[in-house]
Amino acid sequence: MWDNLDHITESEREELKKAFYAEAYEIVEKLQDSLLQIEEHRDDKDLLTAIRRHVHTLKGDSLSVGLTSVGTVCHGMEDFFVHLFRDADLVNKTAIELLLSCADTIHQLLVESETGDSSSSADKVTERMRAYLQEENSVSEYTGPGQKDKTVFPVFTEYQRLQIQKARLVGMRLFEVEIVFHELCKERSIAACMIVQRLGCAGEIVAVSPATDSEEIETAKRIMFVLASKEDEEQIRQAAFISGITGATHIRVLACGADIGAPGKPAAADPAQHISKLENELMRVEPAKIDRIMNLVGELIIGRSMIEQIARDLEGDTVSSGISARLFMANAYLERIVADLQKSAMKMRMVPVNHIFRRFPKMVRDLSSHSDKKVLVYLHGRETELDKKIVDALGEPLSHIIRNAVDHGIETPEERKRMGKAEEGAITLRAYHEASQIVIEVSDDGRGIDIETLKRKAIESGFLEISESDKISDSTGLNLIFCSGLSTSSSVSETSGRGVGMDAVKASVQALKGMTYVESKQGEGTTFRMRLPLTLAVIRALLFEVSNRQYAIPISSVTEAVRISKDGLATIDGRDALLLRDRVVPVISLKDIFEMAGTSDHKQLVIVVNAGGRSIGLRVDRLIGQQELVIKSVEENFTQTDLIAGASILGDGRAILILDVAAVYRKAIEREKSKEVTA
């Protein structure tokens, strides 16, 4: 591949490769989406036309860069689509599965081309298409005049379609001519050549079947022609008649190919040139360039904070009060500009979650077919936008959840019928905004999670003590599903059952600064819910102080802040707790967690946050306020704890650490357990 591009420089070649692969992978995704839709709307010719357009574009792009293997598969698919255009009844499950296999093969060929591998071949899938078409054509029969208008002729090649288009432009009609050989005709190959010569005088022969030079012609009872001609049927019949050679002659006008171009009308536009208005408005930008813009925006935010800090420092000085006021005005103006720039830059990074959702209908289709189950997929909120880095990282956790849903959650059709359910199980993916976060849900209507079985497995694996199993709530018990190596399945399948999936889901979501929840009702189904930040670049945070050190937590995790007296906390089972509107909220002292010295003031502040699905209180010394922070990653060399989610720089140049609320909660639980063991 790429051998035909020796005339361009190496840098130009690399740019062309990037553009080609980005476009090709996107077309393959669109192709798979459309093929899954055509399964439900088999008579939708517009959808078939869109699919053919995708294939045509991919073929042209692939051949232009020398990737002939992909071009070969696409060319075979184009011929296959002509076969499907003839009759909606031909768009059956077998045909769609074959086309999906073609899309998989194209994807594999693209991956191998990009990585330099060449182990796959296009021969297998193209041979399957050829065999399918031959089988379909062999069972077709001419139905005779007055019966259903259904051509028995083999599908047209791309060249033949061009012939048809040109013929229609000059006012020719398309005829299917079936000539039955006379019973006394013996040398049928010679007879076929004579018929070809006679019909050639009446018009332009587009196709012949069987071919005049094939072995099949000698035993054939009839020969078929597709003829483009300006003559009428009777004139064609007279031209075809040869005494002692031709017997019965059947002629009918073909409606097939009308989509290519009607007589007297301009030809339809080349599918490869059909580009929607939306596609014209899109421009591809490399992620690295967007990241660079976001970094610069972050530096601007820090610079604006510095101006604000200088203005505050000058505010109390009577000599510099005028300068302070002017700085505040400049800062307000700069704040508006930076805010608009930040929003624009963030929108560049935002992509619809459909980028990741679109891959799952085919995955479910393959998994359900393999396990002899019937599963439907419903997608909601596909237009919901999220940071591209988060969308890309969601692929693995969502795949684990969906595999488990198909393998363990959804019952077999027989089981579902016995339970009074529909034979088809349902998996629903939903995305929506909630406050400053996005929520991704994966639900199924299967058998649900048996909490008692889950507890028993957790005890056997050492994740749960027998004495604790009766005390924990159902919601806490369900979270045991995220323990590493724990599986409720009694057998190991190709897709799940090893207990290595759900812990990976939780770890992946935590790495994205999100949280995972699970809800399940036995016999009714299970829902996994992931709450994620809209972006990993900039957050709105609440700043506070503990022992004269400043920290921050994302404002999306904060429920409220409560000021209490020193004796305003209750003690329950030896642990501090806050009675808040008939609720008991456990309180964690950050001084104890960070092992800091110092005494607290008489008045204390408790920040109530949401951690892992439950409310907890963080006891702090002083609230500083809200501020927009640019998240900077902290190298492992500089921190030995998982309590830190990142860092940022304040307006006065000081660094501030951003806490991971869920990690703080886990640390508090570990401390309590270690105290109990010591006691």
538-678 to CATH, choices 2.40.50.100, 1.10.260.40, 2.40.50.180, 3.30.1490.20? 2.40.50.180
674: helix, strand or coil? helix
> Mean pLDDT of residues grouped by 10 in the chain (679 residues)?
58 74 84 81 77 83 80 83 68 81 87 76 78 60 40 57 80 86 83 87 86 79 87 87 85 59 35 36 63 76 78 70 75 76 74 85 85 90 85 86 89 91 92 82 91 83 74 76 69 47 80 84 90 76 89 87 80 82 86 75 78 82 85 64 79 82 82 69
Is residue 179 within 8 A of residue 173, CB to CB? The reply is no
SS (H, E, C) 209-272: ECCCCCHHHHCCCEEEEEEEECCCHHHHHHHHCCCCCEEEEEEEECCCCCCCCCCCCCCCCCHH
pLDDT number for residue 150: 42
Helices assigned H by DSSP within 263-412: 277-281, 287-315, 321-349, 354-357, 360-370, 388-393, 395-404
Helix (H) or strand (E) holding 208: strand 204-209
Helix axes 45-64, 10-38, angle to 10 degrees: 160
pLDDT number for residue 42: 72
Q: Rounded CA gap, 458 and 477, in Å?
A: 9
Closest CA to 430 of 421, 419, 439, 417: 439
CATH classification code of 353-533: 3.30.565.10
For 446-506, the DSSP string reads SS---HHHHHHHHHHHTSS-HHHHTTS-HHHHHGGGGSTT----SS--SSS-SS-SHHHHH
pLDDT number for residue 238: 87
424: which 2 tokens? 């088809």
Is residue 496 within 8 A of residue 404, CB to CB? The reply is yes
State the architecture of 158-267 in CATH terms: 2-Layer Sandwich (3.30)
pLDDT number for residue 273: 35
Instruction: State the CB neighbour count (10 A cutoff) for residue 397.
Output: 25
Instruction: State the CB neighbour count (10 A cutoff) for residue 430.
Output: 19
pLDDT number for residue 427: 94
Closest CA to 248 of 183, 176, 193: 183
Is residue 566 within 8 A of residue 589, CB to CB? The reply is no
546: which 2 tokens? 């503990």
User: Tokens 């049928």 label which residue?
Assistant: 188
pLDDT number for residue 679: 55
Report CA dihedral (102, 103, 109, 115) to the nearest 10 degrees: -160
Q: Which whole-number Å values give the CA distances from 380 to 397, 428, 442, 468, 469, in the listed order?
A: 18, 8, 10, 39, 37
Say yes or no: domain 3-139 is CATH 1.10.3720.10: no
pLDDT number for residue 2: 53
Is residue 45 within 8 A of residue 90, CB to CB? The reply is no
Is residue 569 within 8 A of residue 450, CB to CB? The reply is no
Q: What is the pTM of this model?
A: 0.58
pLDDT number for residue 144: 41
Q: Rounded CA gap, 282 and 289, in Å?
A: 16
pLDDT number for residue 440: 92
